[in-house]
Amino acid sequence: MEEVDKTYTAWGIGDGVHEARDLKPMLTPDEQVALLKAKGVTFERCDEAKAIAALTKRGSFLHIASYRKLFQKHRDGEREGQYVRLDFADLLNLDALDARLRSAFQSVAYDIERVAKTRPIERISLEESEDGYAIVAEFMASQQKRYRNSIESNLKVRMAEDAYAGALIARYASDMPVWVFLEVMSFGALLAFYLFCAERWSDEEMRQEHYAMKGVKAVRNCCSHGACVINGFDSGYDADTRASSIAYEWLDSKGVEQSGARKAKLRNRRIQQLLETLVMFERMGCAASSQYSVDDLRGLKSSVSEVCEEYGEQNTFVSYLGFLARLIDKSV
């Protein structure tokens, strides 16, 4: 293992390339296992050879080991600070559940994005005062110059390099109608357009859907990039912000009673965003047109329930998983 006091050439946000000391050294897979053992992680249900294989072929140490913080530690005695009955197999179990969660919610988020694109188009087609070209022009003119330039630059690059949407962008580059504009826009630009329409039409429900879909976008990005979700199921990820109002309305309509447990779980930003995704999945009518996503959610709910039974209530993350299972059950 490298010395901690070694001088490194590092890069940092805002700092650029610079010299730094007292940084964590990079560990080999064997050293990663040794570090976990020193922290009290056992390798009985998953031996060290299989653990090393997982750390080199399945996921990074940072990813797989991140779930360890969900488990209890000894508070005193010879093993103070070490994990209580935590085996490497437990980390792999949560990693597998997280992968299933990401797969299901990625599918759900894509369904929401797909349907969200059709909503403004249908409304515009029925409004006599609207047409499919002027609304794009007015939307772009209403955006701050920096954001407007970002959208245009992205389209120019994709027009030349995107094998999937490039030809469509090029065909309508001079006079882009709304049905093409929304087809080739990012989720972020779609949300900006959605809010623009909500304000244009003084549609409060549409405005609230916009705010809920910001949570959907966060979930979509997390799932697409393979980031961990479950490792944030504790009070350390509580947020100052609340979920969107339509999320609370949905909970009330589903009979999820207001209680201390509900309030505690809804302080967690990740739970908030997963809830908003489930709410918009139902609100957009996706369940009726996407049996694949419904089946994925039901399969996820079954997997979550199994993990809850396996780990009991001694670990607080189980209560978050149980709450999520209840939300999924209410949505499908």
Spatial CB neighbours of 270, under 8 Å, sequence gap ≥ 6: 229, 232, 233, 237
Question: Residue 244: is its pLDDT beyond 90?
Answer: yes
pLDDT for 3 equals: 57
Res 5: pLDDT: 72
Q: In the 8-state DSSP scheme, what is residue 195?
A: H
The predicted-structure confidence for 43-95, as pLDDT tens digits, reads as follows 999 999 999 999 999 989 999 999 999 999 999 998 999 999 999 999 999 99
What pLDDT was estimated at residue 222? Answer: 97
Contacts of 196 (CB under 8 A, 6+ apart): 139, 142
- CA-to-CA distance for 15 and 24, rounded, in angstroms? 18
DSSP 118: H
Residue 83, number of CB atoms within 10 A of its CB = 20
Side chain identity at 119, as an amino acid letter? R
> What is the pLDDT averaged over residues 8-23?
93
The proportion of the chain whose per-residue pLDDT surpasses 70, expressed as a percent, equals 99
Helix, strand, or coil (residue 87)? strand
pLDDT at 2: 52
Report the alpha-carbon distance of residue 144 to residue 147 in Å, rounded: 5
Is the pLDDT reported for residue 228 higher than 70? Answer: yes
Which pLDDT value is given to residue 236?
87
Q: Which of 183, 152, 147, 186 is nearest to 165 (CA)?
A: 183
pLDDT at 1 over 70: no
Interval 256-273 mean pLDDT: 95
**CA quadruple 175, 178, 180, 183: dihedral, nearest 10:** 150
Residue 207 has pLDDT above 90, yes or no: yes
Predicted local confidence at residue 287, as pLDDT: 81
Asked if 308 and 322 touch (Cβ cutoff 8 Å), the reply is yes
- Is the pLDDT at 235 greater than 90? The verdict is no
What does the pLDDT read at residue 296?
97
pLDDT for 313 equals 77
d(CA 258, CA 264): 10
- Between CA 203 and CA 313 the distance in angstroms is 44
By the 8 A CB rule, do 111 and 293 touch?
yes
pLDDT at 157: 97
Residue 4: pLDDT band by 50, 70, 90 thresholds? low
Neighbours of 89 (CB within 10 A): 17
Tens digits of residue pLDDT in 163-176: 999 999 999 999 99
133: pLDDT strictly greater than 90? yes
Cite the beta strand spans of 197-276 per DSSP E: none
Instruction: Compute the average pLDDT of residues 189-199.
Output: 97
CA atoms of 88 and 36, how far apart (whole Å):
9
